[in-house]
Chain A
Amino acid sequence: MANLTIELAKAKENIERLAGDYGLDFFQTIFEVLEFDELNQVAAFGGFPTRYPHWSFGMEYDQLSKGYEYGLSKIYEMVINNDPCYAYLLKSNPMVDQKLVMAHVYGHCDFFKNNHWFSKTNRKMMDQMANHATRIHRYIDRHGYEEIEKFLDICLSIENLIDPHSVFIKRPGHSEVDAQLTTGEVKKLKSKDYMDKYINPPEFLEDQKRKLEEKAKQKKTYPPSPVKDVLLFLIEHAPMEQWQRDILSIVRKEAYYFAPQGQTKIMNEGWASYWHSTMMTRNILTASELIDYADHHSGTLAMSPGQLNPYKIGIELFRDIEDRWNKGKFGSDYNQCTDLVEKKNWNTNAGLGKQKIFEVRKVYNDVMFIDEFFTEEFCLKHKIFAFEYNPKTTQYEIYSKAFNIVKKKVLDALTNRGQPFIFVVDSNFENRSELLLSHRHEGIDLKIPWAQDTLKNLFQIWKRPVNLLTKLDEKEKILRFDGEKHQELGGEKKAS
């Protein structure tokens, strides 16, 4: 399958062996050499050779090919999480770039295979995607292109309403209902009579009883507790045609497949950059390639005022971790040390760097990674700042360089992949089979016109009025779409 030239095949063999020697552990990796238009197509399809037909892929292709034609941008690497891993090389790239990409790709492959957040992804996604495409083509044959496209638009408009953590949770089956709830009585601890009021204090019992009653009341609503996987809820409960249900579940499956890549963008790119940099500079580069390599490497890691470059932050954090653990800059002794000079020169020759970064790549995701390793020293060293919108100048302005503010901003942007938390709260809202969603407001309002249009799309699926409980300018509001018009109601109504 691989169409590598002899030179490339040799380079591949060499880099693969090197990567193994450095302790990277990856699926079998297959490289393919593509022309630029083929590569743009694959990239537009999210790395896959086949996807279901939808204009949005055409749009990505448009952007990529225009960018390439006008000489604005070029895709460097494209690798997909699959067993075996597939990676693509651009035919027109010079040899030094091909080697850089290969080294980078092995970093990604190792990450895909070993990072815990990828452990539940389908490793035969290549086949699964093709299968999805075939199914959707079949529906198109039966129901017509327009119809399917319209429904796909709806599905893609809500594809972010999933819960990437849910794949790791094992819940008991529905049959187990809390015994306390059915009897309505609070369980008491066993005790002798004279001890009873100490072991089971009456106030506590009262309190428990009240809670129980509240819970019982809640149980009348369905779902009994808020559900974050809105798509699954709709697939299971919304009145749809079978083909619609199938398409929605296809969109959901693919969203889950791509979710971990969103959750680990910084780490994944950082890890791959760390390894391409290590392998290229220590082993692979020839003297004549050095300048080109340095040029392209710095291009990839360039920082810009408008946003954080995940490659840059990732690689620097991994290097920082390695350095700290090599010098023993961790643990309570180090953390409690108040002498800055001593802290700076701290070195216990612990030599745990390599071990630590491999451990980090195994269990962390971006949120945890930043939360734990984004230190004040790091923030200062790399000149990271937070910016906010200034309505007076209609510009983004640097608003603070203080560590805790910057860190909070970074975490905000990463939490839930930078998207709002939306839950299904009630499927029989107002006792009228209306759907009630709730937005857990964390300081930033939703974009209202978009939220309204999304509700409109949800209505197409739920077929009854849909409501979204959110906050606007600090006030609770329900956005409602009843099939004809949008309404904005005060939040009190949810009390029912």
Chain B
Amino acid sequence: MALKIDQNYRRFKEIIRGKIKQDLKKYMSSGEMIGKQGKDYVSIPLPRINLPHFEYDHEKKGGVGQGEGQEGDAVGKPGEGEAGSGAGRHVLEVDVSMDELAQIMGEELELPRIEPKGNKQKLDSPKYRYTGIRPTGPESLKHFRRTYRQALKRQIVSGTYNPKDPMIIPIREDKRYRSWKEIPQPVSNAVIVYIMDVSGSMGQEQKDIVRTESFWIDTWLRSQYKGIESRYIIHDAAAKEVDQETFYHTKESGGTIISSAYKLCHHMLTQHFDPGEWNMYVFHFSDGDNWSAEDTNMCMSLLKSELLPLVNLFGYGQVESQYGSGQFIKDLEKGFEKNKEFDHLITSKIDSKDDILQSIKTFLGKGK
């Protein structure tokens, strides 16, 4: 049914997508994307536009709450559900499982489902589905409706059914039980390699962006593949493989030689994973400040001849940093522009937290 509100709703959507009224874009808040991770408790970002008012600085204001707790106990972060007894503005916060979360994100960003590449499917252990009916089986699987239907049939046929006193008593032959079928589930595996530049020019803010973005990419890809492996590489002038914890928390410094990471990544993919069986994803985040033009050339040839033929998708996300020159993204774009063969190399610029959603959409929007 068409509702009166539809026009307003469309208008709002257009503003959100940045099609019209760009000046309102700066009032958009999408909430913190990862609220409280852990215990699968995640706050869902629904974009809001709040027109400017004369208003108190809420951060400094504080408020009143109710419950157990001692002085000094934390009650939450600002921006998270707008703590405080102020206006009734709500960020929705609930228990959502990672699968649901991925689904919601998929709908929000209109992400296509991923088509696994080629015949990289192997048959996984079969799944059981209760679809059929049979006359024998354990009592716990008894199908009541079918049993009584059978009994009714029998009674009508044998003439023992009395419509004025409809009593139906199943006998042994009437009993029906659920039966199952084995359904082989095709399963495709994927490996995701996250590469982060941890040179001196990547600050805390930049890393936060990378962290948030890789969390969402991970969530989405996990919803698309059954068996997923994540690998992490950090690099400055040299590259090394690390675990997730280290990936997000190291503070390295020094120069940047991107090719070192690409070499390691290639080594890792070819040594540990069979390209015939695995879908491979590589995401590289950097501020785009490579050591030398020579090394950039080396990266290009590495990508062209070694990495790109292997992977489903190579995403390069460049975060804005006040120190970096941001040259690398331009080089990439120039090197691979208009080359159909390499359209699974996707670049995206992430200037601030607000660009994360858009960037995820750029990376995953093609359904690779």
Q: How far is the CA of A41 from the CA of B5 in the complex (A)?
A: 6
Contact with A along B172-203 (1 / 0, CB 8 A): 00000000000000000000000000000000
Q: Are B83 and A307 in contact (CB under 8 A)?
A: yes
Residue of B nearest to A437 (CB): B54
Known pairs A50-B4, A158-B53, A450-B53; A413 contacts B66 (CB<8 A): no
B227 shortest CB reach to chain A, Å: 28
In the complex, which residues 54-71 of chain B have their Cβ closer than 8 Å to any Cβ of chain A?
54-71
Q: Is A38 an interface residue (CB 8 A)?
A: yes
Residues of B within 8 A of A45 (CB): 5
Closest 8 CB pairs of A and B: A58-B8, A58-B12, A388-B62, A58-B9, A453-B52, A306-B83, A55-B11, A303-B66
Q: Is B75 an interface residue (CB 8 A)?
A: yes
Q: Which of A59, A313, A448, A454 has the most CB of B within 10 A?
A: A59
Q: Is A2 an interface residue (CB 8 A)?
A: no
Q: Is B44 an interface residue (CB 8 A)?
A: yes
Q: Are A306 and B78 in contact (CB under 8 A)?
A: no
State how many residues of chain A have any CB contact under 8 Å with chain B: 78
Q: Which of B21, B67, B80 has the most CB of A within 10 A?
A: B67
Q: Is A290 an interface residue (CB 8 A)?
A: no
Q: Are B15 and A55 in contact (CB under 8 A)?
A: yes
Q: Which of B3, B8, B15 has the most CB of A within 10 A?
A: B8
Q: Are A61 and B76 in contact (CB under 8 A)?
A: no
Q: Is B167 an interface residue (CB 8 A)?
A: no
Q: Is B271 an interface residue (CB 8 A)?
A: no
Residue of A nearest to B51 (CB): A157
Contact with B along A381-396 (1 / 0, CB 8 A): 0111111110001111
Known pairs A41-B3, A398-B73; A454 contacts B66 (CB<8 A): no
Q: Are B12 and A62 in contact (CB under 8 A)?
A: yes
Residues of B within 8 A of A312 (CB): 66
Residues of A within 8 A of B365 (CB): none
A160 is contacted by which of B1, B12, B54 (Cβ under 8 Å)?
A: B54
Q: Are A450 and B54 in contact (CB under 8 A)?
A: yes
Pick 29 A–B contacts, CB within 8 A, sort by A.
Answer: A37-B3, A44-B8, A49-B4, A55-B49, A70-B94, A70-B96, A149-B11, A149-B21, A305-B66, A305-B75, A306-B80, A306-B83, A307-B84, A308-B63, A383-B66, A385-B65, A386-B63, A386-B64, A394-B78, A395-B77, A395-B78, A396-B74, A398-B71, A419-B56, A439-B54, A446-B55, A451-B55, A453-B52, A454-B52
A70 is contacted by which of B9, B15, B44, B69 (Cβ under 8 Å)?
A: B44
Q: How far is the CA of A389 from the CA of B52 in the complex (A)?
A: 22
In the complex, which residues 406-426 of chain A have their Cβ closer than 8 Å to any Cβ of chain B?
406, 409-410, 413-414, 418-420, 422
Q: Are B56 and A396 in contact (CB under 8 A)?
A: no
A384 is contacted by which of B8, B48, B64 (Cβ under 8 Å)?
A: B64
Residues of B within 8 A of A156 (CB): 51
Q: Are A67 and B54 in contact (CB under 8 A)?
A: no
A454 shortest CB reach to chain B, Å: 5
Q: Is B46 an interface residue (CB 8 A)?
A: yes
Q: How far is the CA of A409 from the CA of B90 in the complex (A)?
A: 20
Q: Is A63 an interface residue (CB 8 A)?
A: yes
A466 shortest CB reach to chain B, Å: 12
Q: How far is the CA of A313 from the CA of B64 in the complex (A)?
A: 12
Q: Are B64 and A406 in contact (CB under 8 A)?
A: yes
Residues of B within 8 A of A54 (CB): 8
Contact with B along A424-461 (1 / 0, CB 8 A): 00000000000000010000111111110110010000
Q: Is A309 an interface residue (CB 8 A)?
A: yes
Q: Is A397 an interface residue (CB 8 A)?
A: yes
Q: Are B49 and A59 in contact (CB under 8 A)?
A: yes
Known pairs A45-B5, A50-B4, A422-B54; A413 contacts B63 (CB<8 A): yes
Q: Is B134 an interface residue (CB 8 A)?
A: no
In the complex, which residues 143-175 of chain A have their Cβ closer than 8 Å to any Cβ of chain B?
149, 153, 156-158, 160-161
Q: Are B92 and A53 in contact (CB under 8 A)?
A: no
**Interface SS majority for chain A:** mixed
Q: Is A304 an interface residue (CB 8 A)?
A: yes
Q: How far is the CA of A265 from the CA of B76 in the complex (A)?
A: 24
Q: How far is the CA of A420 from the CA of B48 in the complex (A)?
A: 22
B305 shortest CB reach to chain A, Å: 46
Contact with B along A278-321 (1 / 0, CB 8 A): 00000000000000000000000001111111001100000000
Known pairs A304-B67, A382-B66, A444-B60; A58 contacts B53 (CB<8 A): no
Q: How far is the CA of A255 from the CA of B104 in the complex (A)?
A: 35
Residues of A within 8 A of B132 (CB): none
Q: Is A73 an interface residue (CB 8 A)?
A: yes
B161 shortest CB reach to chain A, Å: 33
Q: Is B38 an interface residue (CB 8 A)?
A: no
Q: Are A401 and B71 in contact (CB under 8 A)?
A: yes
A413 is contacted by which of B7, B12, B15, B86 (Cβ under 8 Å)?
A: B86
**Interface SS majority for chain B:** loop
Q: Are B75 and A53 in contact (CB under 8 A)?
A: no
Q: Are B71 and A399 in contact (CB under 8 A)?
A: yes
In the complex, which residues 357-394 of chain A have their Cβ closer than 8 Å to any Cβ of chain B?
382-389, 393-394
Q: How far is the CA of A396 from the CA of B54 in the complex (A)?
A: 23
Q: Is B226 an interface residue (CB 8 A)?
A: no
Residues of A within 8 A of B49 (CB): 55-56, 59
Residues of A within 8 A of B24 (CB): 153
Q: Is A57 an interface residue (CB 8 A)?
A: yes
Q: Is B87 an interface residue (CB 8 A)?
A: yes
Q: Is B119 an interface residue (CB 8 A)?
A: no
Residues of B within 8 A of A401 (CB): 71
Known pairs A45-B5, A160-B54; A394 contacts B77 (CB<8 A): yes
Residue of A nearest to B72 (CB): A397
Q: Is A28 an interface residue (CB 8 A)?
A: no
Residues of A within 8 A of B4 (CB): 41, 49-50
Q: Is B81 an interface residue (CB 8 A)?
A: yes
Known pairs A58-B8, A62-B46, A447-B56; A383 contacts B76 (CB<8 A): no
Q: Which of B46, B52, B60, B80 has the most CB of A within 10 A?
A: B52
Residues of A within 8 A of B46 (CB): 62-63, 66
Q: How far is the CA of A161 from the CA of B3 in the complex (A)?
A: 32
Q: Are B85 and A397 in contact (CB under 8 A)?
A: no
Q: Are A444 and B5 in contact (CB under 8 A)?
A: no
Q: Is A72 an interface residue (CB 8 A)?
A: yes
Known pairs A72-B92, A161-B54, A444-B60; A384 contacts B65 (CB<8 A): yes
Q: Is A400 an interface residue (CB 8 A)?
A: yes
B199 shortest CB reach to chain A, Å: 26
A62 shortest CB reach to chain B, Å: 6
Known pairs A50-B4, A413-B63, A413-B84; A62 contacts B55 (CB<8 A): no
Known pairs A58-B9, A422-B54; A410 contacts B74 (CB<8 A): no
Q: Are A308 and B51 in contact (CB under 8 A)?
A: no
Q: Are B53 and A157 in contact (CB under 8 A)?
A: yes
B11 is contacted by which of A41, A58, A160 (Cβ under 8 Å)?
A: A58
A260 shortest CB reach to chain B, Å: 15
**With contacts A156-B51, A396-B77 known, what are 18 further pairs, Cβ within 8 A?**
A41-B5, A44-B8, A55-B11, A56-B51, A57-B8, A58-B13, A63-B46, A157-B53, A160-B54, A307-B85, A308-B63, A308-B85, A383-B69, A387-B62, A398-B65, A413-B84, A445-B60, A450-B52
A68 shortest CB reach to chain B, Å: 11
